[in-house]
Chain A
Amino acid sequence: MTSTLAFDVEAVRKDFPVLAREVHGKPLVYLDNASSSHKPRQVLEAEREFVEQHYSNVHRGVHTLSQEATDAYEAARSTVARFIGAQHDDVVFTKNVTEAINLVAYALGNPGSPVPLGPGDEIAVTEMEHHSNLVPWQMLAERTGATLRWLGLTDEGRLDLTNLDQIVNERTKLLAFTQVSNILGTENDVPALVARAKQVGALTLVDGAQSVPHQPVDVAALGVDLFAFTGHKMLAPSGVGVLWGRGELLNALPPFMGGGSMIEVVQMTGSTYAKAPERFEAGTPVISQAVALAAACDYLGAVGLDAIKAHEVVLTARLLDGIRELPGVSVLGPDSTEARGSAVSFVVDGVHPHDVGQSLDDLGIAVRVGHHCAAPVCRRYGVPATARASSYLYNTEADIDALLDGIVQVQRFWGAA
Chain B
Amino acid sequence: MYQEIILDHYRNPHHKGLRDPFDVEVHHVNPTCGDEVTVRVRVLDGIVEDVSYDGQGCSISQAATSVMTDLVIGRKVDDALVAHEAFLELMQSKGKLEPDEDVLEDGIAFAGVSKYPARVKCALLGWMAWKDATAQAVAKQKEAS
Q: Which of B1-32 contact A (CB under 8 A)?
A: 1-2, 32
Report the minimal beta-carbon distance from B15 to chain A, rounded to whole angstroms. 20
Given contacts A370-B32, A385-B33, contact A358 B56 (CB under 8 A): no
Contacts of A413 in B (CB 8 A): 2
Q: Which of the candidate stretches A75-83, A151-159, A348-356 sits at the interface with the other chain?
A: A348-356
Q: Is A371 an interface residue (CB 8 A)?
A: yes
Q: Is B43 an interface residue (CB 8 A)?
A: no
Q: Which of B27-68 contact A (CB under 8 A)?
A: 32-36, 56-60
Q: Is the interface of A mostly helix, strand, loop or mixed?
A: helix
Nearest residue, chain B, Cβ from A369: B33
Q: Is the interface of B mostly helix, strand, loop or mixed?
A: loop
Q: Does B36 contact A354, Cβ atoms closer than 8 Å?
A: no
Q: Is B75 an interface residue (CB 8 A)?
A: no
Contacts of B32 in A (CB 8 A): 370
Q: Does A355 contact B58, Cβ atoms closer than 8 Å?
A: yes
Contacts of A375 in B (CB 8 A): 34
Q: Does B116 contact A358, Cβ atoms closer than 8 Å?
A: yes
Q: Is B131 an interface residue (CB 8 A)?
A: no
Given contacts A352-B57, A352-B58, contact A358 B34 (CB under 8 A): no
Q: Which of A231-286 contact B (CB under 8 A)?
A: none
Contacts of A385 in B (CB 8 A): 33-35
Q: Is A223 an interface residue (CB 8 A)?
A: no
Q: Does A378 contact B57, Cβ atoms closer than 8 Å?
A: no
Q: Which of B36, B59, B116 contacts A352 (CB 8 A)?
A: B59
Given contacts A354-B33, A369-B33, A375-B34, contact A384 B116 (CB under 8 A): no
Q: Does A384 contact B36, Cβ atoms closer than 8 Å?
A: yes
Contacts of A352 in B (CB 8 A): 56-59
Q: Does B59 contact A384, Cβ atoms closer than 8 Å?
A: no
Residues of A within 8 A of B (CB): 352-355, 358-359, 369-371, 375, 378, 384-385, 413
Residues of B within 8 A of A (CB): 1-2, 32-36, 56-60, 116, 119, 122
Q: Given known contacts A355-B60, A384-B35, what 14 new A-B pairs fall within 8 Å (CB)?
A: A352-B57, A354-B33, A354-B35, A354-B58, A355-B58, A358-B1, A358-B116, A370-B33, A371-B33, A384-B33, A384-B34, A384-B36, A385-B35, A413-B2
